Amino acid sequence: MTFSFLLRRIGYGLLLMLGVVILNFLLIRLAPGDPAIVIAGEMGGATEEMLAQIREDYGLNQPLLTQLWIYVSSIAQGDLGESFFFNQPVAKLISMRIGPTILLVISAQALSILIGVCLGVLAARKPNGIMSGFVSVFATIGYAVPVFWTGIMLIIVFASALPIFPVEGMQSVRLRDAGPVVKTLDVLHHLVLPAFTLAIIYLAQYARLSRASMLDVLGSDYIRTARAKGASERSVLFRHALRNAALPILTVAGLQFGNLISGALLVETVFNWPGMGRLAFDSILRRDYPTIMGVLFFASAMVVIANILTDISYRWADPRLRGRT
Amino acid sequence: MTNQPMTETYIAQSPSREAWRMFRRNLPAVFGLGLLIAIIVITLYGAFLYQGDPFDIVWAPHEPPGVTPEFPLGTDYLGRDIVAGLLMGGGPTLAVGAVAALITMVIGISLGALSGYYGGWVDNLLMRITEFFQVLPALLFAMVLVTLFSPSLWTIAIAIGVVSWPQTARLTRAEFLKIKELEYVTAARAIGARNRRIIWKVILPNAAPPLIVSATLTIGVAILFEAGLSFLGLGDPNVMSWGLMIGANRDYILDAWWPVTFPGLAIFLTVFAVSLVGDGLNDAFNPKLRER
């Protein structure tokens, strides 16, 4: 992997982020009504004084291009504006919420890839076996279930019938003064249901995809060679076949990241998970646009970073790509 | 029955009939189609049959299902009839799903076709725009659009369409890149067909099978999308929908499971039916893939 490739990839990512900033800017201006009132939010009960302050800060009395410049440069300096509902800088609000979202999204992604690929590999061993049937039925069901409803159903089951996992929040109040180990375990305990809920949809897709990809690879010559030289079935499946079948899975994993964040938004709302999705929901109900735009900005940044990481790991996984730029 | 084989060979000459023949033999697909038709008929006919307002409070709150014969699925936290909600809420959900899928397909196919056909800077520009839209988390972006432009069934459908077209555009582009090199396209150009005619009349019909499959699956995704938005309270507050029923009752799930369970099942069954049809169409258009 060359340095210039990385540099170019990051440069392009920054360009995409600039696009997101401009889109945010345009959205506020395109919305019906006075932008100052839009920014202050309907629930803010903005006074004339506050509106004047907003007009001053955002340069709303100046030409549109100057306004855009003010907006872009303040974001470049890390200033995402002030939330009038929460009465805090948006950047601070988000910095408190971004950790839980990343934790949830990455756990769900890991869970779905791990279980999905295992199911897919098992199914590929017998293309017409029970496991294959199970995978395709499960994939169709996983695609069709609304993720927020899965969460609610799990809450109903685990809140009363089988109270082994907490169904709300990220930390237990009674463990507030506990040590770091206990606290971490407590967070993981709270993570089980939300992460599993979010993983179910994608798990099914990865199972289906890795089954198809494995079937493709298992028919190739080098697998026959591996079998002929006497490699064990497990070695053929996991060392020879899966490595080559992994590329499409990696591609989808990268593309899926944006959808995963969308799903996390719903899951966080259902489980009261204190992440960005919950923040987005609260701020949308209050029409707190600076916060909403900040969340949109950071969520897009997460997707851009995930895409760059996918590209890098792609090159790492497929040596054939390394020479190219 | 002596002319049976002849009809069979005759039928086999038309690709769409051939696909339909394959589709008919696919049991899950036929089941999905039947289920989908049943759901559409029930929601259309049900809305016709049920004269009242699903928002009306008709009974005591949280009546469990199967207790009062008039309210077989019980009532919600305000005492609204759940059957009424299911019957009246299906129409808007399905309509928004269908319109949103239509918008998605129109934007996606237009941009993908231009991009794949013309190549060069057009392709470059359009693909950068596509990538840009793929960076925005779809649901969040749709939420922002709906809040900014006040929720109505139209804005919701447009918002879903605006955020979900990139995949269709990529698929269309890939098909166009493949097909535009084929001989019959060259032949069409040789007899003097203009670009517009080649794009819409020559290439697009030949790219139709994967796009039809994709359109079907897009309807499913759009229905889930609409349900998600209504669940978050961002749907049209004056129109009953399945997502809204779940969202309205979610604070009381530990007191009553039925007001959230049945609408969720309805959404699930609808999207399930749509995806069975989509899979069936996929198999019917690609007989070679059936082994998979």
Select from B140, B149, B257 the Cβ nearest to the Cβ of A296.
Answer: B140
Please list every residue in chain A whose beta carbon sits closer than 8 Å to the beta carbon of residue B275: 140, 143-144
Bridge partners (DSSP) of residue A83 are A88
For chain B, the domain total comes to: 1
Instruction: Please tell me the predicted confidence (pLDDT) of residue B291.
Output: 45
B251 vs B264: CA distance, rounded Å: 15
d(CA B234, CA B251): 17
Residue B278 in domain: yes
**Planar angle of CA B280, B283, B287, nearest 5 degrees:** 150
Tell me, yes or no, whether A321 lies in a domain. no
Is B17 inside any structural domain? no
CA nearest to A211, candidates A318, A313, A133: A133
Chain centre to alpha carbon of residue A254 = 10
A263: left (phi over 0), alpha (psi -120 to 50) or beta: alpha
Q: Do A261 and B220 touch (CB under 8 A)?
A: no
pLDDT at B68: 73
Report how far residue B201's alpha carbon sits from residue B266's, in angstroms, rounded to the nearest whole number.
Answer: 39
Domain count, chain A: 1
Residue keyed to tokens 């051939």: B18
A26 contacts chain B (CB < 8 A): no
- Shortest Cα distance, chain A CAs vs residue B208, angstroms: 23
Q: What is the DSSP string of A126-142?
A: STTSHHHHHHHHHHHHH
- Domain assignment present for residue B9? The answer is no
- Look at chain B and count its residues: 292
Question: What CA dihedral angle connects A209, A214, A216 and A222, to 10 degrees?
Answer: 150
Q: Which residues contact B28 (CB under 8 A, 6 or more apart)?
A: B276, B279, B280
Q: Give Rg (Cα) of chain B.
A: 23
Name the 3-class secondary structure at A195.
helix
Secondary structure class of B81 (helix, strand, coil): strand
Ranges in chain A, pLDDT < 70: 1, 33, 41-46, 173, 175, 321-325
Asked if residue A98 lies in contact with residue A267, where contact means CB atoms within 8 angstroms, the answer is: no
Domain boundaries, position B192 = 25-291
Entry pTM: 0.86
**In this structure, what CATH number is given to the domain that contains residue A116?**
1.10.3720.10
What lies within 8 Å, CB to CB, of A62 at 6+ separation is A70
Report the C-alpha gap between A88 and B198 in whole angstroms.
57
Question: Which residues 155-184 in chain A show a CB within 8 A of chain B?
Answer: 155-156, 159-160
Which of A19, A146, A212 faces B292 most closely, judged by CB atoms?
A: A212
Is B3 a member of any domain?
no
Domain that holds residue A261: 98-274
Q: Are A240 and A231 in contact (CB under 8 A)?
A: yes
The partner residue sitting opposite A259, judged by closest CB among B138, B144, B243, is B138
Contacts of B147 in chain A (CB under 8 A): 284, 287, 292
Q: Which residues of chain B have pLDDT under 70?
A: 1-13, 51, 287-292
Of A38, A265, A303, the CB nearest to B139: A265
**B61 in any annotated domain:** yes
Cα distances from A54 to residues A21, A41, A83, in angstroms, run 18, 11, 11
Residues A156, B253: C-beta atoms closer than 8 Å: yes
Chain A partners within 8 Å of B132 (Cβ): 16, 19-20
Token representation of residue A296: 């949109």
Q: In the numeric block, which tokens belong to residue B153? A: 């069934």
User: What are the chain B neighbours of A270 within 8 Å (beta carbons)?
Assistant: 250
- Six-digit token string for A91: 């950047």
The CATH number for B149's domain is: 1.10.3720.10
The DSSP H or E segment spanning B43 is: helix B27-49
Question: Looking at CA atoms only, how far is residue B136 from chain A in angstroms?
Answer: 5
What pLDDT does residue A171 have?
Answer: 76
Any domain includes A102: yes
The DSSP code sequence of B233-254 is: T-S-TTS--HHHHHHHHGGGTT
First to last CA, chain B: 35
Whether residue A232 is contained in a domain is answered as: yes
**Phi, psi for residue A89 in degrees, rounded to 5:** -60, 140
Nearest to A292 among B132, B144, B233 (CB): B144
Bridge partners, B57 (sequence order): B80
DSSP A321: G
Q: What are phi and psi of A88, to 5 degrees?
A: -145, 155
pLDDT at residue B18, as a whole number = 77
CA distance, residue B194 to nearest chain A CA (Å): 35
CA A150 to chain centre: 18
Could you give the ipTM of this predicted complex? 0.85
Question: Would you call A50 an interface residue with chain B, using a CB distance cutoff of 8 Å?
Answer: no
Residue B53's φ and ψ, nearest 5 degrees, are: -100, 125
**What residues of B are in the A interface, CB distance below 8 Å?**
131-132, 134-141, 143-145, 147-150, 220, 224, 227-228, 231-234, 243, 246, 250, 253-254, 257, 260-261, 264, 267-269, 271-272, 274-276, 279, 291-292
At B2 the pLDDT is 45
- Residues of chain A with Cβ-Cβ distance to B232 below 8 Å are 266, 269, 281, 284
Torsion of CA A196, A201, A204, A206, to 10 degrees: -90
Which residues are paired to A317 by β-bridges?
Answer: none
**Tokens 């809920």 -> residue:** A197
What is the dihedral sign for C-alpha A186, A187, A193, A199? negative
